[in-house]
Chains A and B, each alone.
Chain A
Amino acid sequence: MPETTPLLNVENIQVKFGKRRERKQVIDSVDLQVHAGEIVGLIGESGSGKTTIARAVLGLAHVAGGQIRVAGEEVTDFSGSQWRDFRRRGVVQYVFQDPLRSLDPDVVIGDSISEPLRIRSGLSKDEIKAAVCAQAAEVRLDEGLLDRFPAEISGGQRQRAAIARALISQPKLIILDEPVSALDAATRVQVLEMLLSLRSDSVGLLYISHDIGSVIGITDRTYVLYRGKVVEHGATRMLATTPKHLYTRLLIGSTPTLSGKALDGVQRRELRDELEALSV
């Protein structure tokens, strides 16, 4: 891990949902860093708070305590207009699980990709077109597809278009929220390969997933989130081979593999009981 100022520095954040008595702590004292040039995984089961952390980084969830710094800027206390300005600069970009819903169905792919550039203006039509084509090439999206609507291309192509749209602002941080979970095996492999090819010194990737399979394949470090808390983090490989926390052990031991499972049903049940006793 490089000893530089992290691109994303989340310190001790708290997020609570609901009002007064029904107030529920969703994120509890989470610390998380992403450095430039890194691909960092955030893994956890549904409801563990993965997406809430991402939303907090984007200013879409109210942070009740703690600090978030993005590319050196303290964003925690941004006002509405400061957020708008910050988002316009495209420092952070977000890629969602379902590109069919995150791309405007009435806008052709090329226009969706070029929108961030058009907003910031200053570029001529030809320059924008050239930038879109270059970006499409980088994510291995065929140029002929730029005139099509989202519904007219495949899921993998749509996800690549969504990633191209994120990249065109030359963001420092890209948050990928379950980017391959909705894709078939063949397209999943292509998108993962493409994501690996994006690794560069100028950008950091936060890769959110419930699926340890893809997290193992592309991340350098991983944070394990369980019921709103980071229970373990470290180099992905170490985490997978020598998990310490009960939940991580259960997670790794429950993931089906081709070479046979790591734990049998009885062992898993024991771990689960221990885990439950712990959280009571």
Chain B
Amino acid sequence: MVDLVAAEDEIAVQVHDLRIRGTFPEADLVRGVSFTLRRGGTLGIVGESGSGKTLTCAAVLGILPTQVELSSGTVEIFGANTASFGKQGWVDVRGNVISAVFQDPGSYLNPSIRLGKQINEVLRVKNGLSRKQAKEETLRLLRAVHLRDPELVYDQYVHELSGGMLQRVVIAAAIAPGPKILIADEATTALDVTVQAEVLDLLTELKERDGLSLVVVSHDLAVVAQICDEVLVMRSGEIVEYGPTAEVLHSPQDEYTKLLISEHERYGLDRIFESQELEVA
């Protein structure tokens, strides 16, 4: 087993000069991406579709699709170079150290197995719990992600739950083995705004309570601005802007970042916020 997570290690993920190549057709999809995720930190990755944000995450998770290869660069998870992992190494790392949730929660769950059982399986395989222990732990996790009636959800199927509830179930499964890093790749994109806010609140809570380090990928700069301390803006496979959120928002250097900000200022709620305070609460 790969020995990971030295207690004093302050860097959760270190990506250095990552280059990803598509083999068919041949093209450089990600070019020279470097970033650092500090332990307990929250890094946001923003970019339009095809900018390479998901591929970058796939490289960090070691799940690049077959027609795509890592041509150079390194990914280190808690100081360990992932190139040295091998099959068993990844099995030990995924879930236990780094985990991920994606856009469409329904497609990551088995439609014909009860939801509780699917989380049980993670706990029994990854943590070696007994059936009874696993059930107790699953119920605790379902409660921790603020599902209203954990016992009911435990026995339900995918089609019986809404998108927001399913995303909570998937998050519960992702954090079940106690990972230190969670990648949320467009995890709230398909959800209604009010539900998106709930899921973002949940991620923030997990970060604060469990010290989870987060990578939040989104096409919406405002989502990232809301929960991340650092932002990385990608375009056409390259990083065009990278820095602390407040700095990027106040003095963006790149044209594309400026455009993302001006969209909110011209068409979004920010247009009204500038001139007056809200009276929502």
Partners in one complex: yes
* Complex interface bits, B199-223 against A, C-beta within 8 A gives 1, otherwise 0: 0110011000000000000011111
Bound: A253/B273 CA distance, A = 12
Q: Given A188-B263, A189-B259, A253-B280, does the pair A259, B197 have CB atoms closer than 8 Å?
A: no
Residue of A nearest to B220 (CB): A256
Bound: A221/B197 CA distance, A = 25
Q: Given A184-B219, A189-B263, A241-B278, does the pair A257, B269 have CB atoms closer than 8 Å?
A: yes
Residues of A in contact with B (beta carbons under 8 Å apart): 45-46, 184-186, 188-189, 192, 210-214, 216-218, 237, 240-243, 249-263, 265, 267-268, 272
Residues of B in contact with A (beta carbons under 8 Å apart): 48-49, 192-198, 200-201, 204-205, 219-223, 225-226, 249, 256, 259-274, 276, 278-281
- Residues on B with beta carbons closer than 8 Å to the beta carbon of A210: 192-193
Bound: A31/B261 CA distance, A = 36
- Residues on B with beta carbons closer than 8 Å to the beta carbon of A255: 193, 197, 222, 268-269
Bound: A213/B192 CA distance, A = 13
- Contact between chains at B200 and A186 (CB < 8 Å): no
- Contact between chains at A185 and B267 (CB < 8 Å): no
Subset of 23 A-B contacts with CB under 8 Å: A184-B48, A185-B263, A186-B256, A189-B259, A189-B267, A210-B192, A212-B268, A213-B222, A213-B269, A216-B271, A217-B266, A218-B267, A240-B269, A254-B196, A256-B220, A257-B225, A257-B270, A258-B225, A258-B268, A259-B273, A260-B226, A265-B197, A265-B201
Residue of B nearest to A237 (CB): B272
Residue of A nearest to B201 (CB): A265
- Contact between chains at B280 and A249 (CB < 8 Å): yes
- Residues on A with beta carbons closer than 8 Å to the beta carbon of B201: 265, 268
- Contact between chains at A252 and B280 (CB < 8 Å): yes
- Residues on A with beta carbons closer than 8 Å to the beta carbon of B219: 184-185
- Residues on A with beta carbons closer than 8 Å to the beta carbon of B198: 265, 268, 272
- Residues on A with beta carbons closer than 8 Å to the beta carbon of B264: 213, 257-258
Bound: A182/B270 CA distance, A = 21
SS class of chain A's interface: helix, strand, loop or mixed? helix
Nearest CB on B from A141, distance (A) = 20
**Which 7 A-B pairs rank lowest in CB-CB distance, beginning with the nearest?**
A217-B267, A254-B197, A265-B201, A184-B48, A256-B222, A213-B268, A45-B192
Nearest CB on B from A19, distance (A) = 21
Residue of A nearest to B278 (CB): A262
- Contact between chains at A46 and B266 (CB < 8 Å): no
- Residues on A with beta carbons closer than 8 Å to the beta carbon of B195: 45
- Residues on B with beta carbons closer than 8 Å to the beta carbon of A268: 194, 197-198, 201
Bound: A262/B226 CA distance, A = 11
Q: Given A45-B192, A217-B268, does the pair A256, B263 have CB atoms closer than 8 Å?
A: no
- Residues on A with beta carbons closer than 8 Å to the beta carbon of B281: 249, 253, 262-263, 267
Q: Given A185-B219, A243-B280, A251-B194, does the pair A258, B270 have CB atoms closer than 8 Å?
A: yes
- Contact between chains at B270 and A265 (CB < 8 Å): no
Residue of A nearest to B269 (CB): A257
Bound: A216/B280 CA distance, A = 16
- Residues on A with beta carbons closer than 8 Å to the beta carbon of B222: 213, 255-258
- Contact between chains at B279 and A241 (CB < 8 Å): yes
- Residues on A with beta carbons closer than 8 Å to the beta carbon of B266: 189, 217
- Residues on B with beta carbons closer than 8 Å to the beta carbon of A260: 226
Nearest CB on B from A253, distance (A) = 4
- Contact between chains at A212 and B269 (CB < 8 Å): yes
Bound: A259/B265 CA distance, A = 10
Nearest CB on B from A198, distance (A) = 15
- Residues on A with beta carbons closer than 8 Å to the beta carbon of B223: 256
- Residues on B with beta carbons closer than 8 Å to the beta carbon of A213: 222, 264, 267-269
